[in-house]
Each structure stands twice: as C-alpha cells, then as structure tokens.
Amino acid sequence: MSGAEVARRTVLAASAALLIAAAPHVEAKAGRFTGTRAGGIHGFRGIRYGCAARFMPPVAEPAATVRATAYGPSAPQGSRRYQPQSEDCLFLNVWTPSPDGRARRPVLLYIHGGAYSNGSVVDAMNDGARLAAAGDCVVVTVNHRLNAFGYLYLARLDPRVPDSGNTGQLDLILALQWVRDNIAGFGGDPGCVTVFGQSGGGAKIATLMGTPAAKGLFHRAATMSGQQVTVSGPLNATKRAQAYLAKLGRDPVTAPVEALIEALSATDPILGGATYFGPVLDMAHLTRHPFWPDANPQSNAIPMLLGNTRDEARAFLPAERLADLTWDNLPARMAPELRVDIHPEWVAAQFRARYPALSPREILWAAVTAGRSWRGQIEEAEARARADAPTWVYQCDFTDPARPERGSPHTMDIPLVFGTTAAPDAPSGNGPSARAASDAMMAAFVAFARTGTCAWLQYREDRRTTMIFDTAPHVEDDPRAWERQLFARVPYVQPGT
C-alpha cells in the first residue's frame, strides 16, 4: 500500500470518527439511539415503538441500541407512493433542538392523513425539523397500520382476532405510551404532549379523545381538516368485512400482503365504491361515539384546536374531472358528493342565488366543502361549545399567488404548519407570502402546544370566533354563517356508520 493510500485511509477514518462523535446520542427507557444533526436540529428517524402480529394489538419493543438515521417502512396500502412498505411498520421519528433531558420542551406528535387507508409520515411535507427549530419544541411523527391491516373488523366473524377493527388506533396509543416513557431523553416534556393531525389524522385524534385507553396520554389536540363525529357500527363493519373477505377469497390471517391489498377494491355494501375502513364501536376499545350524542366527557378538559381549509373540495374534485359540468347536471353531480340526504336541486339553487357570480364548478366546490368537509368540524366545535370545553377554531384561506385557481384546498395547512413550503408537492408554493402564512400558523400551533390556549377568543355559540390564516391573518366571528345554517337544516350523519 502506498504512502498516499495510507494517508487517505487515515483521513477517512478520522473523518468517520468525528462524524460518529458528533452524532447525537440519546439514552432512554426504550434503548440507546444514535441520530443525525443538521441545521442545529437533531433528528432520529425510524425508531421502532412496537411490533404486532396481523390483526392483533401491538406490543412494546424491548430496549435496544439503534442507529436511528433512516425512516422505517410505511404501512401497506393501495398507493405505491411511499416505499418501502411493510406490515412491520410501527416506527416513529423525532426532531429536537437538543436531546437534553432537562429541557422539558413541549412535544407535538403528528398523525398523518389518507383517511384510514393510505398515507405516511415519510412525506417531505411531514418533516419536523423546521417546526422543531422555529418553535423550540420536540416534534414526533408516527406511522401505523392502515386499511384492512388496521381496521378490518373480524371480531364477530373470527374468534382468533377479537381485537381487530381498531388495531390501527391501538398502534397510536402504543406510540403515545412510548412518548410518555421516553421523550424526556430527547428534551421533551411527557406532561405537555399535543397530538395534531390532518384529514384522517385529525379523525384518528377525534377518535382517540373518546378512547378510554388513550386517557392521559396527551394534553392538547389539534385537528386539521379531519373529524370523526361517529365511528362505524359493528353490524355495518361486519358487512364490510364480509364483502372484503369474499373479494379476498382466502384466510386473511395467512394470506400474502399483496392479496390483502388487492382485495381493498371490494365494493362497500353500505356506501358503494371501495370499502371504507375506520374505527369500530366494538364495545371493547370504543364504547361510544367520539362526538355523538355529545362531546365525550373524557376529553372535554383537553384544550382543542379545530381547523379546515376554505376550499377543501377542490382537492377531491379537480377541475379536469368537471369539464362537462353544467347548470343542468350540477345537482346530479352534487348529490353523491354531499354525502347527506338533502335536496340537491334546492341546494344548487340556494348557492346560485347567494353567489350569482360563481360558475357551476365553483358552486359545486363551495357546496361540497360546506356540506361534506366542513360540517363535521362544525359538529365537533358546537358540541364542545355546549360543554364549555376549551376550544379554538381556525380556517385556512391561504392561496398560492402563483396558482390562484387552486384556492385553499385540502392539505394546504400541512406545509404551513410544518414550515415545509419548499417541499416538492406543497400546495402553498414557497414564495414570501407562503412563508409568512407558515410563520403565523407555526407560531399559533406552538403557542397552543406550550400553553393550551390561542391568541383569539374561544369558540362559543354566541360568536363562533374563528382565526382566518392567510397572508395577513385576522379574526372573524361566524365566517360563512349562511353556509353553516343551510346545512344545519338536516341531521349530520357521518359516512361509514
């Protein structure tokens, strides 16, 4: 070996030693973790918080020494967007300004969206580094079981798996227990944990607020475009399981992962379309609905922040799908999207009279947003207001100036809250106005996590005070009151029950 080669290897070895020495280490109850450091933030990715047999409750993982430098697998799902995927998907990620056990920073734990069937926190918009830095807080993101793996209700069909139907929720409870037991080593305060989640993530949080096993594991809750007023009843959930099993055509406990994913296309016997999966009123883990007939008293003392985007439905009904929409076929197109038993011709006429300048497409977006996407949030906020529970409401109106035709659709608040406006798929764009709106939303969420209050008035039935997040945030009382009142004429029924 030449002298030059010896020198080169010596330099490489020394560099590697320095990197190892500089890498952050954490000693916690669950083990010893080595992470990475960038931009002053310490990151720990791919920490296993549990393991589980198929359709069975998860169990905690024994203590171990772990190099936590890469994300763990995402849950199996119909979408191939997130890779790799594995049934062995119970991993979480932590970002912290410093892993100092004395710091006692507020903890924000994020639960991803995708209904109960898709999604992953490995998405670039869910990176917690910037939020941790901006808020001097600890950010945790969690993957868990989805679709049939997390919510197929077999308890009335197969005695081998009596806890199936809510195992995805049990995964989240185990992750919260891991945070309670270990987060102090990462600089977090286990007594100041805020759960926040978007879309399906918000729905999972609403469900956790009514789950007895989750009591005491979090201290504030923030839901972003995600509500769960009621959960599936056991009889309908059993009908769905039967339809799914008929499509599967084999033993679900032993079938290959690919077969279980393929069977997700089974037709839902109650709703039509692909089979709905979600939590079940099994009278074991869930013994009542989260927000019906009232806000579950279990969580009424927990401060809660609820929000939606101004133009939710633009994400579900993209313009290219509506090229043939006219005033004549608007009611027929509107009826199935509203998912409520209300006269569609009457609704279309009411919106046309109220907003005469809007096109058929804009009327469809407005009505579906108000009647389908926003309605659940109203039900939850009103239920908590009646219980005098500490509740704050926001609406995200921000629109990317470079793409004004997109409005403020579903998912707009994800990059604004995480500060990930530069992520490739961020609907916000990354211009100065997006960064300003993001700064405001991050500050509000961190203040809520730290103090359990928001800077604007609580939501009460006399004023319905709402923070409007936009380039210039401002407060309004009862925004879109007419739309709220129009759909209040019919009872709210959550799809999937």
Residues with Cβ within 8 Å of residue 497, at least 6 apart in sequence:
230, 231, 232, 233, 236
Q: Are 137 and 105 in contact (CB under 8 A)?
A: yes
Whether 495 has a pLDDT exceeding 70, the answer reads no
pLDDT above 70 covers what percent of the chain? 95
Amino acid, single-letter form, for residue 337? E
Whether 459 has a pLDDT exceeding 90, the answer reads yes
For the stretch 114-155, pLDDT in tens is 999 999 999 999 999 999 999 999 999 999 999 999 999 999
d(CA 284, CA 287): 6
d(CA 475, CA 465): 7
Q: Nearest to residue 425, comparing CAs of 128, 127, 181?
A: 127
d(CA 322, CA 437): 30
Whether 12 has a pLDDT exceeding 90, the answer reads no
Q: Are 468 and 457 in contact (CB under 8 A)?
A: no
Q: Are 66 and 31 in contact (CB under 8 A)?
A: yes
Q: Which domains does the chain have, with CATH numbers?
A: 36-306 (3.40.50.1820), 318-373 (no CATH)
Question: Cα torsion at 281, 287, 289, 292 (round to 10°)?
Answer: 140
List helix spans (H) across 249-386.
Answer: 257-262, 313-316, 330-338, 344-354, 360-368, 375-386
Average pLDDT score over residue span 302-317: 97
Whether 18 has a pLDDT exceeding 90, the answer reads no
pLDDT of residue 493: 76
For the stretch 285-297, pLDDT in tens is 999 999 999 999 9
**Euclidean distance between the first and the last CA atom of the chain, given in angstroms as a whole number:** 72
Q: Are 137 and 131 in contact (CB under 8 A)?
A: yes
Q: Are 242 and 221 in contact (CB under 8 A)?
A: no
pLDDT of residue 15: 39
d(CA 123, CA 127): 7
Q: Are 147 and 116 in contact (CB under 8 A)?
A: yes
**Cβ count near 230 (within 10 Å):** 23
User: How far apart, in Å, are the Cα atoms of 326 and each of 320, 333, 351, 415?
Assistant: 14, 10, 14, 34
d(CA 280, CA 148): 13
d(CA 228, CA 276): 14
Whether 195 has a pLDDT exceeding 70, the answer reads yes
Average pLDDT value for the chain: 94
For the stretch 227-285, pLDDT in tens is 999 999 999 999 999 999 999 999 999 999 999 999 999 999 998 889 999 999 999 99
pLDDT of residue 4: 56
pLDDT above 90 covers what percent of the chain? 90
Whether 42 has a pLDDT exceeding 80, the answer reads yes
pLDDT of residue 17: 37
**Per-residue confidence band for 19, with pLDDT thresholds at 50, 70 and 90:** very low
Q: How many Å separate Cα 162 from the centre of its chain? A: 26
Q: Nearest to residue 398, comparing CAs of 438, 359, 365, 425?
A: 438
Buried b / exposed e along 66-103 (16+ C-beta atoms within 10 A): bebeebbbbbbbeeeebeebebebbbbbbbbbbbeeeb
